A and B are shown apart, each in its own frame.
Chain A
Amino acid sequence: MLTGQAGSLFVFAGIFFFVLAILSAVFQGRFPKLAKLGTPALWLGSISIFGAMACLMTLFVKNQFQYEYVFARAEIHTDLKYKIAGVWSGQQGSFLLWACCSAIFGLLALKGTGVYKRWYTLVFAIFLGSLCGILAYETPFHPIHEVMRDGKVFVPPTGQGMTPSLQNYWVVIHPPTIFLGFGALAVIFAYAVAAMLTGNLKDWIGQVRSWSMVALSLLGTGLIMGGLWAYETLGWGGFWMWDPVENTSFVPWIFLAAFVHGMIVQTNKGRWHGANLWFAAIPFLSFCYGTFLTRSGFLTEVSVHSFAQMDKSALNILIAFMVFAIASFTALYFWKGRRLAKTADLAAEDAAGITREKSYSYGALLLCLFGVIIAIGMSWPLILGLMGKKAAVVEEHLYHQVLVWFFIPLMLLMAVAPFISWRAMSGRELVGRFLNVFSVSAGLTGFGLLGLKYTTTLPADSFVAFPLGFKANTWVWIAFLLFLCVFVMISSLWRIAELVKRTKTSLGGFVSHFGLAMLLAGLVVSRGLERHEKTTMRKDETVSLMGYTIKNEGFTDNPMASRENKSKFSLVAANGSKIDARPGMYYYNDPSGEQKAMVWPHIQRNITHDVYMAVSEPIIFAWKDPVWFKPGEKKTINGATVHYRKMTSSGEPGQPDAMFGADLTVGILESDGRITEHESEPQFSVSQGPQLAPAGDGFAMVMTRMDVKDKSVELQLLFNPELYQIELYHKPLVVLVWLGAGILLLGGLMTAFARRRPRNPDEPKLPAGDAEVLKSESEANERELAGSLQMKRAES
């Protein structure tokens, strides 16, 4: 029991040290000696959190099933990597992971905080202290009561095991990645608060820049991993469902993107000091809100994705922290921040026409609207509840219908942004600059569509629905959205080509834009031009679905309980090409001892499209449970009327060759409403047990038990051969999702490393001069850009 107790102890030690750090930060004005205490207290508190994490991991690795949390999430034979994944597969563990990741970034960033150290420490200590408080109630170190026997601890030999759909490599790496991103959000928030409290709204931007890029990359990567996990495991053929858990991670990413752009304006133009405070704070605050929303139980009525309800006291701490953080940040802004920002902001250059600053502000505005709308959408059940109305949810199609009107201008802005300079230019001049790229994009989109038309079988007259009953042809609509993505890709590429010769500093940004547009193109096309059909097939049957002739070929040679086991299907296309589909399917015993099937889809990846096949477990039972019949009895169950007349027998009763039979008639309801009757005589052999008897086309009857005394029998109707439910998706250009995601990550990393600033505050910093350099660099770029364009025009 020692490790578990140590874990609990670490949590309480964490609270103690963070309270110490808070006291040091608050009272060091009056008692300067306390200032020395802050850093060690924050370190010790963070180490306590790491200690608690280490304890929990040890419990999992050492199979300490006497703990509720471990018992419910691991088995003795579980692979080590899934035992470790078990640590964060539940609510308590994921809070611990959040605390752990936040502490890591809190310490990493602490060294470079300089003048902001005192208030940064305060914010971080309050935040981590609150998380420790939550963990004190919502503890993963809770032993099972029954394990104490006569004062001794009894360790259960094994636990219940993690739900099979979580036993997937993505689940091992997705949560740590995304939580590291969430951890970095706390750094950015703490800086924003410290900037206001110190009154220095300038320097923090330089110090926080690389952290925000790291956060953006990690969060983005984590989000994409989550999508890929859903695609590969869940069998509904998509990456993103807009459920509250997904949105909770997505909204911070959007505001973080706004912040990353806001920082550029502040560095180059000396403006946006106030807005950047908000952009830095909202990602963290919105994540806290999302955590509250998904864990509070407010959505349990309406969402299947919600976590189990939290411990009441833990939830109260979460709410208290969230309300305190939001309220005090807002108050601080209106008390100090707004005035400071006004004095810090340089005057706007009064320029008519289009400038880069204006394009940034429209971009930021659109991103904010995007984020706010998703936040409203995910809170919709809560909002309706507060208004006393009946619950309703915003679903995928509604998100798409609404968000696309913000997606269109946002993409257009991303596409023309590389051509806009800090100095003002007329709309005419701008159009002249991007016209070439525009034409190339339109041409490429056309080519792309031709290719898609060739590989995609979606009917030409499909429609997408819009609000107010409007409709548009799917091909036209998707072509337009695809064009927007291609436009962004080509203009970013063009800008990359310009920059690569000169400067590397802003290269990463455009690489990210290119990757993001490619990812979006993949999502838009693979969902928008998706074909989806479903059917039921008998095992011995050949069915035709979406142009494929589908046949079942049994199972792979693995044992049915092996995680490697797969069903075998062959899909033959009209042109003779064949897909050997191997959707996963195995049986496992759930904690109650019942045998259950786990299935996962087969994905045939091609360059042009994915063929995605989801197959159910074989359906054997037409009657889920056997039913007792007395002689002469007639019952109708699930469309089948069985009339059991009498028991037959052969052989010597009591001898191994004895056979009992049930003489009966089965009436099967046909699809046209007729009933066809079949004679059937299922038998029960004393030595060999029940024997199947045919009972009409596609059915068999089995006698599972009998009572020789009153001649009653227990019967069950089976599908024979068994049935499969099959869903087939044809998803074009999924490859762009993968490629785009990789390029997006690369761009993020490039920016994070290219923009690393000196961490040591004692080193001379050149915020103003630095900005000048950047500014003159970008002006030089523009001059060259304009020059090269003129040359091109002269050539043509």
Chain B
Amino acid sequence: MKTGPIVTAIVAMLALAAVVAAFMSNASPYVTIAQAKSNSGTRLHLAGDILKPTVNTDIVNHALTFDVKDKNGDVITVKHVGEPPTNMNEATEVVAIGKMEGDYFLSEKLLVKCPSRYEGEAKPAS
């Protein structure tokens, strides 16, 4: 009977260790443009400033395209297919989640950071 709790504790610790290992290997990395170009992952998080004058709707495939400048000063064109986030208009910084495709970054999902007066994405105080 006395071994029960010890076995349980060991199983619980092993489970936690497995979870941490899964987080280690599968968490989606934040990358710079230079790193994105050499990373074959499909859930890369590319963060940077939107270069406003470059925001356009691609006339060929109607994707939203814009240039993003990362903190190293590199610039890359991001293509986003689908409805842009509701507050895309207000965005100054974006996180594009996706992968490299050719010489541009194909974004599956866009997260936008708005000027500080909105304090984070559209999320109430909670």
- Footprint of B on A, CB under 8 Å? 72, 85, 88-91, 93-94, 97, 160, 163, 165-166, 171, 174-175, 178-179, 222, 226, 229, 233-235, 243, 245, 248-249, 301-302, 304-308, 350, 352, 362, 365, 369, 372-373, 376-377, 380, 384, 390-395, 398, 401-402, 405-406, 467, 534, 536, 590-591, 596-600, 614-616, 619, 621-625, 638-640, 668-671, 699, 717, 719, 723, 725-727
Q: Which residue of B lies closest to A377 (CB)?
A: B23
Q: Which residue of B lies closest to A591 (CB)?
A: B117
The answer on a CB contact under 8 Å between B56 and A671 is no
Is B60 an interface position by the 8 A CB rule?
yes
Closest 9 CB pairs of A and B: A94-B125, A165-B122, A392-B27, A536-B62, A304-B111, A391-B30, A534-B82, A596-B89, A392-B29
Q: Which residues of B contact A166 (CB under 8 A)?
A: 122, 124
Give A308 to B116 CA distance when docked, in angstroms.
6
Q: Which residues of B contact A377 (CB under 8 A)?
A: 23
The answer on a CB contact under 8 Å between B125 and A393 is no
The secondary structure that dominates the A interface is: mixed
Is B103 an interface position by the 8 A CB rule?
no
Is B76 an interface position by the 8 A CB rule?
no
The answer on a CB contact under 8 Å between B23 and A723 is no
The answer on a CB contact under 8 Å between A727 and B16 is no
Give A88 to B123 CA distance when docked, in angstroms.
11
The answer on a CB contact under 8 Å between A727 and B83 is yes
| B84 contact from A91, A249, A590, A616, Cβ within 8 A | A616
Is B43 an interface position by the 8 A CB rule?
yes
State how many angstroms separate the Cβ of B78 from the closest Cβ of chain A. 14
The secondary structure that dominates the B interface is: mixed
The answer on a CB contact under 8 Å between B126 and A249 is yes
Give A670 to B59 CA distance when docked, in angstroms.
8
Give A402 to B27 CA distance when docked, in angstroms.
11
Interface positions, chain B 23-72, Cβ under 8 Å from A, are: 23, 26-30, 43, 45, 47, 53, 55-62, 64-65
**A–B Cβ pairs within 8 angstroms, 5 of them:** A376-B23, A393-B28, A393-B30, A398-B26, A625-B53
The answer on a CB contact under 8 Å between B62 and A725 is yes
Give A93 to B119 CA distance when docked, in angstroms.
12
The answer on a CB contact under 8 Å between A307 and B27 is no
Q: Which residues of A contact B12 (CB under 8 A)?
A: 365, 369
Give A670 to B15 CA distance when docked, in angstroms.
54
The answer on a CB contact under 8 Å between B119 and A307 is yes
The answer on a CB contact under 8 Å between B86 and A234 is yes
Knowing A369-B16, A398-B26 are in contact, say whether A171-B59 is a contact too (CB < 8 A). no
The answer on a CB contact under 8 Å between B56 and A390 is no
Give A187 to B5 CA distance when docked, in angstroms.
31
Give A591 to B118 CA distance when docked, in angstroms.
12
The answer on a CB contact under 8 Å between B27 and A380 is yes
Q: Which of B1, B47, B122 has the most CB of A within 10 A?
A: B122
Is B75 an interface position by the 8 A CB rule?
no
- Footprint of A on B, CB under 8 Å? 1, 8, 12, 15-16, 19-20, 22-23, 26-30, 43, 45, 47, 53, 55-62, 64-65, 81-87, 89-90, 95, 111-114, 116-126
Q: Which residue of A lies closest to B88 (CB)?
A: A616
4 further A-B pairs in the complex, CB-CB below 8 A; given A380-B23, A467-B26: A163-B122, A175-B124, A301-B30, A362-B8
Q: Which residues of A contact B22 (CB under 8 A)?
A: 398, 401-402, 467
| A619 contact from B23, B57, B111, B119, Cβ within 8 A | B57
Q: Which residues of B contact A93 (CB under 8 A)?
A: 125
The answer on a CB contact under 8 Å between A72 and B117 is yes
| A393 contact from B27, B53, B120, Cβ within 8 A | B27
Q: Which residues of A contact B112 (CB under 8 A)?
A: 304
Q: Which residues of B contact A467 (CB under 8 A)?
A: 22, 26
The answer on a CB contact under 8 Å between B43 and A174 is no
The answer on a CB contact under 8 Å between B1 and A350 is yes
The answer on a CB contact under 8 Å between A638 and B56 is yes
The answer on a CB contact under 8 Å between B53 and A622 is no
The answer on a CB contact under 8 Å between A373 and B16 is yes
The answer on a CB contact under 8 Å between A178 and B122 is no
Q: Which residue of A lies closest to B1 (CB)?
A: A350
Q: Which residue of A lies closest to B118 (CB)?
A: A163
Q: Which residues of B contact A97 (CB under 8 A)?
A: 125
The answer on a CB contact under 8 Å between B122 and A372 is no
The answer on a CB contact under 8 Å between B23 and A719 is no
The answer on a CB contact under 8 Å between A308 and B119 is yes
State how many angstroms separate the Cβ of A752 from the closest Cβ of chain B. 22
The answer on a CB contact under 8 Å between B81 and A163 is no
Give A615 to B82 CA distance when docked, in angstroms.
9
| A229 contact from B8, B61, B119, B124, Cβ within 8 A | B124
State how many angstroms separate the Cβ of A459 from the closest Cβ of chain B. 20
The answer on a CB contact under 8 Å between A163 and B56 is no
Q: Which residues of A contact B60 (CB under 8 A)?
A: 639, 669-671
Q: Which residues of A contact B59 (CB under 8 A)?
A: 622, 638-640, 668-669, 699, 717, 719
The answer on a CB contact under 8 Å between A165 and B116 is no
Q: Which residue of A lies closest to B111 (CB)?
A: A304
The answer on a CB contact under 8 Å between B126 and A178 is yes
Q: Which residues of B contact A391 (CB under 8 A)?
A: 29-30
Q: Which of A306, A352, A390, A393 has the most CB of B within 10 A?
A: A393
State how many angstroms separate the Cβ of B30 from the closest Cβ of chain A. 4
The answer on a CB contact under 8 Å between A395 and B86 is no
Q: Which residue of A lies closest to B52 (CB)?
A: A624
Q: Which residues of B contact A233 (CB under 8 A)?
A: 86, 122
Give A179 to B1 CA distance when docked, in angstroms.
44
Q: Which of B30, B61, B86, B124 has the most CB of A within 10 A?
A: B124
The answer on a CB contact under 8 Å between B121 and A305 is yes
The answer on a CB contact under 8 Å between A163 and B111 is no
The answer on a CB contact under 8 Å between B53 and A392 is no
Q: Which residues of B contact A624 (CB under 8 A)?
A: 53, 55-56
Give A668 to B28 CA distance when docked, in angstroms.
38
Knowing A369-B12, A393-B30, A590-B90 are in contact, say whether A376-B20 is a contact too (CB < 8 A). yes
Give A352 to B126 CA distance when docked, in angstroms.
46
Q: Which residue of B lies closest to A302 (CB)?
A: B30
Give A155 to B71 CA distance when docked, in angstroms.
40
State how many angstroms separate the Cβ of B124 from the closest Cβ of chain A. 5
Q: Which residue of B lies closest to A595 (CB)?
A: B89
| B27 contact from A88, A308, A372, A398, Cβ within 8 A | A398
| B86 contact from A85, A165, A352, Cβ within 8 A | A165
Q: Which residue of A lies closest to B62 (CB)?
A: A536
Q: Which residue of A lies closest to B71 (CB)?
A: A301
State how many angstroms separate the Cβ of B119 from the closest Cβ of chain A. 5
Q: Which residue of B lies closest to A96 (CB)?
A: B125
Q: Which residues of A contact B57 (CB under 8 A)?
A: 619, 621-622, 638, 719, 723
Q: Which residue of A lies closest to B87 (CB)?
A: A165
Q: Which residues of A contact B89 (CB under 8 A)?
A: 590, 596-597
The answer on a CB contact under 8 Å between A395 and B83 is no
Q: Which residue of B lies closest to A724 (CB)?
A: B83
The answer on a CB contact under 8 Å between A163 and B55 is no
Q: Which residue of A lies closest to B8 (CB)?
A: A365
The answer on a CB contact under 8 Å between B125 and A398 is no
The answer on a CB contact under 8 Å between B56 and A171 is no
The answer on a CB contact under 8 Å between B83 and A600 is no
Give A302 to B16 CA distance when docked, in angstroms.
24
State how many angstroms separate the Cβ of A780 from the closest Cβ of chain B. 28
Give A508 to B64 CA distance when docked, in angstroms.
51
Q: Which residues of A contact B117 (CB under 8 A)?
A: 72, 160, 591
State how many angstroms separate the Cβ of B68 from the closest Cβ of chain A. 14
